[in-house]
Amino acid sequence: MTERAARRLVLALLRSIRHGTLELHEEDRRTVIGTGEPRAVVIVRSPRAWPAVLRGGLGLGESYVAGGWESPDVTAVVELAARNLERVDDLRRALTPLREPFQRGRALLTRNTPGRARRGIAAHYDLGNDLFEAMLDPTMTYSCAVFERPDATLEEAQVAKLERICRKLDLQGDDRVLEIGTGWGSFALHAASTRGCHVTTTTLSERQADVALQRVRDAGLEDRITVLREDYRELRGTYDKLACIEMIEAVGWKDFGTFFGACSALLAPDGAMALQAIVIDDRLYEVEKASRTFIRTHVFPDGCLPSVAVIARSVARHGDMRVLDLEDITVGYPETLRRWRDNLHEHAAELHAAGYDERFRRLWHLYLCWCEAGFEVGRISDVQMVLGKPGRHPAPTASAAVAAAHA
């Protein structure tokens, strides 16, 4: 399709916008489509953007990274698109049964083996510790923060999140704690230093492991923290408590059951697991797991967001854990993402000097805006769950409804 024909078709499709206002700027014209909020402005820099947009979210994202379009507020553009996807979602759901046989056939050829998992983790988390040091707060925590005060710093909000997880697990000094997904060591350091427990933490990222080990040494906690470089399927032993903070998204939809079965087998009969997870709307799960999205293609290869229902089913069918508590902490994620984005902008010169070029900067700017919009419109959420073995009872802080359901 020619660029001119693609432009006509895109404009025709855009005129079906029901929610919000889109203001398009081209070299010699300005076009306004729709009314109300959200209001998004797109500046078309290249006619190649028009055919790219016809490839959906993947094309929209790739066109931005290539410089095909700009916006003073990229989050608003993605949010506007997300709020007008009802008919697209309906069509994708209708086509899902037709796509399922091909999806399952492809899955047989692309098992998320420990080796493949290591490569997938390295593709994101081994991009360079200087990148994440510039983006994150001093705790080096790469997950949703909990802002207990509007004026809280990002570091304070991340410590509040880590403390909340420790309280939900009711961590004690004599607990043997396992963490799957070390990050750069923030949970292990917080749990060991504030509770006195022993934490065994594992990551597949070589660069994360190196930093975590150094931070453990610097804190003088070598006797309380053990850092491993093992896949969750390779772990052995028995633990009292288990924490997994936004790592399940890398497990892959084919292995959610395997993951929860492994977690159950690693816990003592009265053990508990704290899970923080980015989850997708239950109604979108089957569609999204089969889709070649912008994030899964360019940011998190082999990743897949579970839904709350998928987690509950996997827990019920694999192992003997049950859900004791569920809390939605999504409200903190848009602000967390904005703080990360601001940090990257603040350190743009240093990152450029370190080899992160303009294309990479645009990719990560879009990635953070894309996620922020997803949380704002409710297509994705962030939850903290407490799972317990048969001998574990709901803690006093558990929600009354969940506690009563399992009494």
- In the chain, where the domains are located: 3-82, 114-405
- Which tokens sit at 232? 């969750």
What single DSSP character describes residue 76? H
Considering the candidates 144, 166, 263, 371, report the single residue annotated as catalytic.
371
Is CATH 3.40.50.10490 what the domain over 114-405 is classified as, yes or no?
Answer: no
> Cα–Cα distance between 343 and 134 in angstroms, integer?
6
User: Comparing C-alpha atoms, which of 126, 135, 54 is closest to residue 364?
Assistant: 135
* Neighbour-count burial for 63-100, b at 16+ CB within 10 Å, e otherwise: bbbbebbebeebbbbbbbbbbbbeeeeeebeeeeeeee
At 91 the pLDDT is: 53
pLDDT digits (tens, 9 = 90+) for 14-70: 999 999 999 999 998 999 999 999 999 999 999 999 999 999 899 999 999 999 999
pLDDT digits (tens, 9 = 90+) for 237-263: 999 999 999 999 999 999 999 999 999
Angle at the Cα of 365 from the Cα atoms of 363 and 370, rounded to 5 degrees? 90
> Cα–Cα distance between 318 and 320 in angstroms, integer?
7
Burial class (CB in 10 A: 0-12, 13-18, 19+), 372: buried
Cβ(143)–Cβ(245) below 8 Å:
yes
From first to last of its 407 residues, the chain has per-residue pLDDT tens of 699 999 999 999 999 999 999 999 999 899 999 999 999 999 999 999 999 999 989 999 999 999 999 999 999 999 999 999 886 656 555 555 655 565 555 555 566 688 787 887 877 888 889 999 999 999 999 999 999 999 999 999 999 999 999 999 999 999 999 999 999 999 999 999 999 999 999 999 999 999 999 999 999 999 999 999 999 999 999 999 999 999 999 999 999 999 999 999 999 999 999 999 999 999 999 888 877 889 999 999 878 999 999 999 999 999 999 999 999 999 999 999 999 999 999 999 999 999 999 999 999 999 999 999 999 999 999 999 999 999 997 654 544 444 433 33
At 323 the pLDDT is: 97
Phi, psi of 24 (to 5 degrees): -100, 130
Is 144 annotated in the active site? no
At 109 the pLDDT is: 55
